[in-house]
Amino acid sequence: MCLLKLYLALPNYHILNGQMKFRIIAGTSIFVDISDKFQLEKGWALKSNQKYGQRGSGKRITITVKAYLEGFFLAGNVNKTDRMSAKDMVTELKKLAEEGEIQNDEVPEIKTIEGWITRYSASLRKESAEQRVISETNKRLEKEDSNNKSSHKRQKR
């Protein structure tokens, strides 16, 4: 029914034997079967049925779990033999849940922890790069200041 209304609004059409014939460009025609069902349900394009803003509405990693994950990650950064995979982190978090440190429903899935590791390592790399730039800039400025002071002394003589 919806398709029929849509097609009736278009110019240059004829209905023949249950099919609609459309004249698109001089001489060319296409045939559309009227009995075909529209694949989307009625009202699919209504604004009230849109699901924008639903992304990220799922379960979030709690602050305590983040603290444990950061500890696991940073321990692996300090000592390479202590590196843990996302699966290892999940098993450690499950042990903590059994001990009562955190709740069972706070333990994230492996994929969630893999994503967290990716984001956290990227933020650490960015932070260390920024610190490197700042320290290099400070060293350069100190060197220029010491050169300027020594050049002023020479000029006074």
In angstroms, the Cα distances linking 148 to 136, 137, 138, 153, 157 are 18, 16, 15, 9, 15
Q: Quote the pLDDT of residue 50.
A: 76
pLDDT value of position 89: 95
- Per-residue pLDDT of the chain (157 residues), as tens digits, is 444 444 444 556 555 655 655 555 666 666 666 566 667 777 777 888 777 766 666 788 999 999 999 999 999 888 888 899 999 999 999 999 999 999 999 999 999 999 999 999 999 999 999 999 999 998 888 888 777 776 655 555 5
According to the model, what pLDDT value does residue 20 have? 59
Predicted local confidence at residue 37, as pLDDT? 65
SS3 call for 23: strand
The answer to pTM > 0.75 is: no
Cβ 110 vs Cβ 86: under 8 Å = yes
> Which residues are paired to 23 by β-bridges?
29
Enumerate the domain spans of the chain.
2-37, 63-135
pLDDT given for residue 14 in this prediction? 58
pLDDT of residue 2: 44
